[in-house]
Chain A
């Protein structure tokens, strides 16, 4: 379950190596064991240079995509997980856990406690999930309130010390690196026996509990007879419990109004001490019926110091908040578009913002637009070949708005326009971006009375809710559109 080495590589397309190793850490005692366990199949951890080259090649991040290269492009070279084998110095370094996120490549090599030929199944290697957890932890740490390169560099400079704390010998002690950072600073606090390892100190001050529910709604709408529209709500409940005492007990309940949509696929934070089986089994896999558990969803827990995601859930609301259609027809260098959007009456008509983005891919810049909107304003981004319909804070009383128009394009210039593999010909979409504060689509809420705190002092409890759109697509109904399996099951 240990790691042999960890790397962070920033991706830099266009530079000679297409990337730079920003951080690396090797674990020689683990390497010692790897040599014994792997036996003849042992391949040593390479130096940073060769590793960088081999990894970028395997991840197709080098700028040499032109030719067919068998070791990378062969049809039998199939990767179905983020675990790779790298050809280095005549041997295969395996398993290399690696993924790209925000132009940073996170990579590590877990110890495999047996021979590597043939490769044992990943599920039997404890170090794989530990490696993922380590990389997710580093990623969380780097992305937490990071704004610019200077901050990134500061965080990268902190990494050696943090890993010395969180992973001194290659065996991960805590994936929450912020915790490790705090523990360096908290070193003088006296600990008692039952101090959890994930809580480095105790809170001193006014007791308060803050709960915020963020729901993201995604949708795929086709406006077609044979393809069903799909939509889904994904909720995240974030908590911050500032309570005195080492192990304050808290129970947070989420409730639904009578017509609310049941929460499903609930994943909880590890600090939740027990879970009702109804919560555990309510799943989007099952067909919905009236008997579905609809709360209240109780989560007894011992909170950590920092802000944490108490739970994630999904939900299947009966209707999408905004239903629409998008029709686009090509006529030589022009396209004719018609858009209709309708806000469902049950949805709170009070947006922080609401916009419809209409991109045109694989075409030249927009040279001319003629349009008519029943509501809001249209902005034209000529060079980006896209339109943005700014709908604003409220839909009109009719709850329905329209846009129609004709867009003319100039000649395509290959350098500037990025290629899109999906939107070919008439295949096109518009994407809705909106946010509604103090509202959830499922109706899910946590009120002051739903929070029980077994600790000294009555805490101040604050709750927040919001609904955000995410991947909310309306596809051109006059052309083929990519579908999911669910859409075909009418």
Chain B
């Protein structure tokens, strides 16, 4: 892009400033940084335009040169431009220095490896020392302002890299003692001194403070800047403020113990700075005091009396910053610098400043804040909480109390003080006679309510009234003498202006039960005793939805019943339904059901009707806890969704059964061969609590009769549950699989449905023993059974493999209950009943080493292959 005219640049800068992000995203964004640097050397542009370009680079370096490389290049280019300036006076030198410094710091390019940093630092230090840097740096008349600017640049570098100038303390002291500009050098020295002390204290390093402070104007040994110290300081930038007592621990400031020589030198340096502080502007004096306060704070053996000569002068001024700096010293040194009398004087000055007619309102408010956060020598209350200092008695506060004529912020700030006085007043058990703070407080609140009650008054006055009420409750929650009139007053306010309902709801949501409970009752009475129409009804219903609970049911229901007729539009109907909902949650029963039924019949709007019916059905069908969950905030819906959406989602979630991955594990336990029919023994384990568990089974292939469900009231993880018995009614003696479904309720009240893995029912699970054979003739009994199988049944012989344990073990493990005749270890006669009405008879005889021949008969030929599989599988099953 060629050189741009002044107008084009003005336009471009305007567009950029309007929205930097939009501009940088646009087509011109990319080139802006580069163009700006090259235009600075253009001879066509005026100095003023160039200054405006530099001003832009001072504000938006991160946008113009987004990374360290670009920032380094930009700083280099800016320094080149500076060096190339002709030796005549130019307004560009100052902003060029500032821009180069800003570019390096903002672009994270500042460091020992950066070429631009290595050029900038000596240049700044040379300028700050007042050294003659050659004709490139303009005429002598510019030296003084440039010297100051260089100090400012160095101060900014030191602020961003604490410790960088740790090696220059002596040099700076020397300059301050000679003829350097007092303010820039003082501030720079104070900052460097503070940072050095802090870093040394933190690192518990002793780098020869005395040496640092004493070194003449030529720093000893190489470069004066200290990248190593800066690295230490860099780990965490340190607050410039003397740490307020509360922040002390986190700073972890170790206490430095300087040697007597060091202490003397340090004292001399601080005294030098303080003596000249009068020459600084008030804001700079304040900065100096904060810095020196911090610097001396961690030093053992350094009494802060050095500050004392300054205090009287500072306390007399009207300057916000100076008074604030004195408070910082107070917080830093406490009794060591301020005796009890000093503290009292400071408090009085602060009290005067908080109400002095010559000071502006923002200053009043800040002073009042300082008063309530006053760093007392011996604080009584908990730290961090606003409280009236002990020495600030009612007498001192008299001019600081609120009146209706005050601006809202001033009123609230002063009201807070008044509340604190009332707390003390109560402790002294004074009665609330005329003129007492509490009486005044009541009058004031009444005045605020009166103002808020004005029809057509601004929202701000209503807000103020409720803020004041809230503040009073926060401070005086334990004082019924304050809360009772407040409650009545607010109820009257509602009567006068129901349109303030949202404020009441907000207040009720935020105050504790001390005001909340009586105010709810009062508002409910106010509403139900005064039926309204239209606009007022809308607000009444909003209030009622907030305050309705189980109490005063009939009055509430009566009001709602009467109101229902006036609820002709959707909004009002919904408002009324919200009240019903609140009542449902509060567990109101009978009368509400009638009301809901009436609404469902009476209203024309289908939505209102449906909702009424739904609520009625919920009320009629759901037990209390479930109802609570159904109407409670939905776990599925984010809190911000509209209440209607939340409500619907809540219902959907609660009333529908949720499909869920099963938290339940079901397994078949050992076979129980007893009783009239086969019974499956089930073991249940859960991963999370499940209530009202119902297990439903379906038999694959319908080989058994349908199975009944099994119910378990409650299951908890880790708590063993008795085995569940599932009686089977086989239609055929065949194995099968059971399809299992679980229905249960989660702890959050949701009903869930889960499909469990199918349960196998094995052939052997159906085995039942025959009723006991006559004692003497077991063999005969068996033979009889054996014979009865034929001719209807079937007979087979097969080879049953034996494992290493032999026949005896196999029988005892699997067939024990069914053995009729046993001649261990060689021969067993086994009779098995298979429901519904089949039998299986086995003769195991003449076992050999690896197996036993089995003769088997059954009266049901369909059993034969199953029996064969079973027997062959026995050895493997061991």
Residues of chain A at the chain B interface (Cβ within 8 Å): 1-2, 24-29, 31-33, 36-37, 47-49, 60, 65-68, 70, 72-82, 97, 99, 101, 113-114, 120-126, 128-130, 132-136, 160-161, 164, 168-169, 171-176, 179, 183, 187-188, 190-198, 216, 218, 232, 234, 236, 265-270, 272-275, 277, 279-281, 283-285, 312, 314, 414, 419, 421-422, 424, 482-486, 488-489
In the complex, A458 Cα to B181 Cα: how many Å? 31
Structural contact, A484 and B405, CB atoms closer than 8 A: yes
Rounded to whole angstroms, the CA-CA distance of A269 and B318 in the bound complex is: 7
Residues from chain A with a CB closer than 8 A to the CB of B396 are 285
Contacts of B470 in A (CB 8 A): 75-76, 78
Residues of A near B459 (CB, < 8 A) are: 65-68, 73
Interface residues of B in 357-406 (CB under 8 A from A): 357-363, 365-366, 368-370, 373, 375, 384, 395-396, 398-399, 401-405
Main secondary structure of the interface of B (DSSP, over half): helix
Q: A130-B283, A421-B454 are in contact. Are A270 and B317 (CB under 8 A)?
A: yes
Among B160, B182, B403, contact of A485 (Cβ-Cβ < 8 Å): B403
In the complex, chain A residues whose CB is within 8 Å of the CB of B221: none
* Listed stretches B54-62, B630-638, B639-647, B714-722; interface member: B54-62
Q: Is the CB of B281 within 8 A of A174?
A: yes
Q: Using Cβ atoms and an 8 Å threshold, which residues of chain A touch B246?
A: 120-121, 124
Contact indicator B324/A129 (Cβ below 8 Å)? yes
The answer to whether A126 and B313 have CB atoms under 8 Å apart is no
Chain B residues contacting A31 (CB-CB under 8 Å) are 106
Which residues from chain A contact B362 at a C-beta distance below 8 Å?
81-82, 97, 99, 132, 135
Bound-state Cα–Cα, A32 to B162, Å: 13
Bound CA span A134–B250, Å:
30
Q: Is the CB of B141 within 8 A of A267?
A: no
How long is the Cα–Cα vector from A73 to B463 in the complex, in angstroms?
6
Quick one: given A75-B466, A160-B55, A273-B278, are A29 and B156 in contact (CB under 8 Å)? yes
CB-CB < 8 A to B360: which residues of A? 99, 101, 136
Partner of A133, one of B101, B156, B321, B404: B321
Given contacts A28-B60, A82-B362, A268-B317, 6 further A-B contacts (CB under 8 A): A1-B241, A123-B373, A171-B155, A193-B179, A198-B280, A234-B358
Q: In the assembled complex, how far is the CB of residue A153 from the closest CB belonging to chain B, in whole angstroms?
A: 15
Q: A29-B105, A80-B416, A281-B348 are in contact. Are A120 and B247 (CB under 8 A)?
A: yes
- Residues on the A chain within 8 Å of B20, using CB: 47
CB-based contact A114/B247 at 8 Å? yes
Q: Chain A residues near B247 (CB, 8 Å)?
A: 114, 120, 124
A-contacting residues of B (Cβ < 8 Å)? 17-21, 51-52, 55, 58-62, 94-95, 98, 101-102, 105-106, 141-142, 144-145, 149, 152-153, 155-156, 159-160, 178-179, 181-183, 236-241, 244, 246-247, 250, 278-287, 290, 312-313, 315-325, 327-328, 331, 345, 348-349, 351-353, 356-363, 365-366, 368-370, 373, 375, 384, 395-396, 398-399, 401-405, 409, 412-413, 416, 434-435, 440, 447, 450-451, 454, 456-463, 466-467, 469-471, 502-503, 506-507, 510
- The 3 tightest CB contacts between A and B, nearest first, are A312-B358, A267-B318, A124-B244
Which chain B residues lie closer than 8 Å to A133 at the CB level?
282-283, 319-321
B residues less than 8 Å from A190 (CB atoms): 144
The interface residues of chain A lying within 8 Å CB-to-CB of B416 are 80
Instruction: Judge whether B366 and A122 touch: CB under 8 Å.
Output: yes
Instruction: Report the separation of the CA atoms of residues A440 and B20 in the bound assembly, to the nearest whole angstrom.
Output: 56
Once bound together, how far apart are the Cα atoms of A236 and B359, in whole Å?
11
Measured between alpha carbons, how far is A477 from B400 in the docked complex, in Å?
25
Check A1–B287 contact: CB distance below 8 A.
yes
A482-B447, A488-B434 known; A121 vs B244 contact (CB < 8 Å): yes
- On chain A, the residues within 8 Å of B18 by CB distance are 48
Q: How far is the CA of A154 from the CA of B412 in the complex (A)?
A: 38
The residue that A29 contacts in the complex, of B102, B345, B366, B462, with Cβ under 8 A, is B102
Which residues does chain A contribute within 8 Å of B102, judged by CB atoms? 28-29, 169
For B160, the chain A residues whose CB sits under 8 A away are 29, 32-33
Using A28-B102, A73-B506 as known contacts, say yes or no to A132 and B320 having CB atoms under 8 A apart: yes
| B456 / chain A contacts, CB cutoff of 8 Å | 414, 419
Chain A residue at minimum C-beta to C-beta distance from B351: A285
Structural contact, A122 and B318, CB atoms closer than 8 A: no
State A488–B403 Cα separation when bound (angstroms).
Answer: 11
Instruction: Among B142, B353, B404, B457, point to the contact of A419 (Cβ < 8 A).
Output: B457
- Give the chain A neighbours of B325 by CB distance below 8 A: 126, 129
Given contacts A29-B160, A173-B284, contact A81 B403 (CB under 8 A): no
Q: Are B241 and A285 in contact (CB under 8 A)?
A: no
